[in-house]
């Protein structure tokens, strides 16, 4: 790979988002034919923006792109795909009711002499691509019935079917189990060895080091350096990303748990058409304990969160917090007992269009009488502003002022506001749903420190996470959900990622 020719050069790229956010600051980087090149950096560092400029999703203010020795300017992604550059986004966009082959040929279907889709020919072409790239896929399977990993392969094949030479992958391992990641990496290595160029965006530095030929590090819109993967370490990459040392080992100190704070008894959830989402769950979370919930996406984690928060009503079972039966409480009543960090900060955690201070006081303004004046008729805006300023200082939020629009904050700082708001509620039970999804190593380290702090204070934490490393780093016990059933309740010291991964995939430990 070292001597491979340069395929793409991005020279002096500048991107400014109005009014004055400098997302890319004179970035120059090159990508070689037949290499896996990772781009890493903190949230807001500019890595995704750089790839969007290359793919035609975003237009640079200045700079140039040289592709195969010629200057190019893609006005939209269709032009990039036609030139041989494709992008697979973190959010999988497929039609669930269509088969694998129907999704892959959509928009470029072969037609017969009557101008109708030649279904047999289309399926045959897709099967040839599946065999050519050694992707283990059934072309006739409906997308709704296949795993998340298989859907990801369909997205990649959709671009390979269009003969792209460059694949941009945005956080492709975020939804995969430990067993599925090596298979993806093997497929990407085969593509690389066949002459494709893979541009890989990821927050998982161990994966970046394992997979990449070269790594470009970005910070605050600038390129810090491009280094061979073989010549760097996880610690050095993190230091380049955040400008300081980052601790990757667990800082969870041994402590005996207290009495049960959350108790779930025989909890089940059946949808109207009879599908079982949760099946007779029984578990508890004790004071001073972090319990992690692991499972492949779609196996009941989302429904568990919804039933605990009162968004969905269980078919049967009971939920207790400190021996108070909250099973039939509405959401506002539950908020007196539960601090909740949702997985989607933009849709459930905050209003993106509101000023920061309005998002910071959510729920507090209903539960704390100091937020009201004139017998509850008016909001005490002076106290609300001071509360927000204290939150900004205590949780290290980078924001120009409490009045700044929430959407102008980086993802990491938005998450700090939501985590800070919820922890300041002082509830005995804290429910965390994907608390660090999409965050960089620096922001993740900060959120982890806050979670460990409330554990030390004796609060009970239930944490749902798609990141097994995070679960093992923070949890005292691990619950594993498989098809809505609890198939594992394991002390973290008595298990390992392989055992948990087997339970996630099969509902049982696979024999070696």
For 124-131, what is the mean pLDDT?
90
The CATH homologous superfamily to which domain 6-242 belongs is P-loop containing nucleotide triphosphate hydrolases (3.40.50.300)
Confidence of residue 178 (pLDDT cuts 50, 70, 90): low
Structural contact between residues 471 and 465, judged by C-beta atoms closer than 8 angstroms: yes
Q: List the structure tokens of 387.
A: 């509360």
Confidence of residue 149 (pLDDT cuts 50, 70, 90): confident
Locate the domains of the chain by residue range: 6-242, 257-337+427-512, 350-419
Confidence of residue 512 (pLDDT cuts 50, 70, 90): very low
Asked if the bond preceding 19 is cis, omega within 30° of 0, the reply is yes
Confidence of residue 177 (pLDDT cuts 50, 70, 90): low
Helix (H, G, I), strand (E, B) or coil at 132: helix
C-alpha span between 264 and 406 (Å, rounded): 35
pLDDT tens by residue, 398-429: 888 899 999 888 777 888 899 889 989 989 99
Q: In what order do the strands lie in the sheet with 166-170?
A: 85-88, 166-170, 197-201, 36-41, 214-219, 222-228
Length of the chain: 512
Residue 509: the pLDDT is 61
Residue 10: the pLDDT is 96
Tell me if the pTM is above 0.95.
Answer: no
Residue 469: the pLDDT is 84
pLDDT tens by residue, 238-282: 888 877 766 656 677 888 999 999 999 999 999 777 788 899 999
Contacts of residue 417, Cβ cutoff 8 Å, sequence gap at least 6: 350, 356, 359, 360, 391, 392, 395, 397, 399, 406, 409
Helices then strands, each counted (H, E), the chain? 17, 22
Confidence of residue 202 (pLDDT cuts 50, 70, 90): confident
> What is the CB neighbour count within 10 angstroms for residue 437?
21
**Closest to 253 (Cα-Cα) out of 23, 469, 456:** 456
pLDDT tens by residue, 469-481: 889 989 999 999 9
State the greatest distance between any 2 C-alpha atoms of the chain, in Å, as a whole number.
78
* Sole residue written with tokens 């667990």: 250
C-alpha span between 346 and 87 (Å, rounded): 23
CATH of 257-337+427-512, one of 3.40.50.300, 2.40.50.140, 3.40.50.10420, 3.30.200.20: 3.40.50.300
488 pLDDT more than 70? yes
Q: Pairing relation of β-strands 316-321 and 222-228?
A: unpaired
Give the mean pLDDT of the chain: 88
445 pLDDT more than 80? yes
pLDDT tens by residue, 310-369: 999 999 999 999 999 999 999 989 999 999 999 888 778 899 899 999 999 998 888 888
User: Where are the extended beta strands (E) located within 214-357?
Assistant: 214-219, 222-228, 260-270, 276-286, 290-294, 316-321, 324-325, 338-341
C-alpha span between 371 and 382 (Å, rounded): 9
Residue 360: the pLDDT is 93
Q: List the structure tokens of 275.
A: 């599908």
Same fold, 6-242 and 257-337+427-512: yes
Residue 204: the pLDDT is 80
Bigger pLDDT: 508 or 132? 132
Bigger pLDDT: 175 or 45? 45
Residue 175: the pLDDT is 65
Residue 441: the pLDDT is 76
Confidence of residue 389 (pLDDT cuts 50, 70, 90): very high
> What is the CB neighbour count within 10 angstroms for residue 283?
18
Bigger pLDDT: 195 or 178? 195
C-alpha span between 385 and 255 (Å, rounded): 37
Residue 33: the pLDDT is 95
């Amino acid at each position: 790979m070292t001597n491979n020719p340069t395929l793409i050069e991005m020279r002096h790229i500048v991107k400014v988002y109005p009014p004055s956010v400098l997302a890319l600051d004179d970035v120059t980087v090159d990508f070689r034919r037949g290499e896996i090149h990772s781009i890493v950096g903190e949230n807001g560092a500019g890595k995704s923006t750089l790839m969007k400029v290359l793919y035609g999703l975003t237009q640079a203010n200045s700079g140039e792109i040289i592709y195969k020795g010629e200057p190019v300017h893609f006005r939209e992604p269709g032009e990039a795909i036609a030139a041989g550059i494709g992008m697979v986004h973190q959010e999988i966009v497929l039609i669930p009711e269509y088969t694998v082959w129907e999704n892959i040929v959509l928009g470029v279907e072969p037609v017969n002499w009557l101008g109708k889709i030649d279904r047999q020919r289309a399926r045959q072409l897709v099967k040839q691509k599946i065999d050519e790239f050694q992707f283990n896929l059934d072309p006739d399977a409906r997308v709704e019935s296949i795993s998340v990993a298989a859907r990801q392969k369909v997205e990649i094949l959709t671009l390979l079917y269009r003969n792209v030479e460059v694949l941009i992958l945005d956080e492709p391992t975020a939804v995969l189990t430990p067993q599925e990641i090596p298979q993806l990496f093997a497929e990407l290595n085969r593509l690389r060895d066949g002459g494709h160029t893979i541009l890989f965006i990821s927050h998982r530095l161990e994966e970046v080091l394992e997979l990449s030929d070269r790594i470009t590090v970005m910070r605050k819109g600038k390129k810090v350096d491009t280094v061979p993967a073989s010549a760097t370490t996880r610690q050095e990459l993190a230091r380049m990303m955040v400008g300081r040392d980052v601790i990757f080992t667990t800082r969870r100190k041994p402590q005996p748990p207290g009495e049960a704070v959350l108790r779930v008894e025989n909890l089940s959830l059946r949808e109207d058409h009879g599908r079982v989402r949760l099946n007779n769950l029984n578990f508890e979370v004790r004071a001073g304990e972090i319990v992690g919930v692991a499972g492949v996406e779609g196996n009941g984690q989302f429904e568990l969160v919804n039933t605990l928060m009162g968004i969905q009503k269980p078919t049967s079972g009971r939920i207790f917090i400190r021996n108070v039966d909250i099973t039939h409480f509405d959401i506002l009543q539950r908020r007196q007992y539960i601090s909740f960090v949702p997985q989607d900060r933009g849709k459930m955690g905050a209003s993106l269009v509101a000023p920061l201070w309005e998002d910071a006081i959510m729920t507090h303004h209903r539960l704390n009488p100091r937020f009201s004046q004139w017998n509850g008729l008016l909001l005490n805006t002076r106290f609300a502003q001071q509360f927000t300023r204290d939150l900004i200082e205590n949780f290290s939020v980078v924001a120009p002022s409490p009045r700044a629009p929430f959407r102008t904050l980086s993802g990491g700082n938005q998450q700090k506001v939501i985590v800070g708001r919820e922890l300041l509620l002082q509830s005995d039970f804290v429910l965390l749903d994907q608390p660090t999804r999409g965050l960089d190593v620096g922001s993740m380290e900060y959120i982890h420190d806050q979670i460990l702090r409330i554990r030390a204070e004796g609060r009970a934490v239930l944490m749902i996470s798609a990141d097994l490393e995070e679960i093992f780093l923070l949890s005292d016990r691990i619950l594993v959900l498989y098809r809505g059933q609890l198939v594992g309740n394991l002390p973290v010291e008595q298990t390992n990622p392989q055992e948990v991964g087997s339970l996630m995939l099969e509902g049982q430990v696979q024999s070696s």
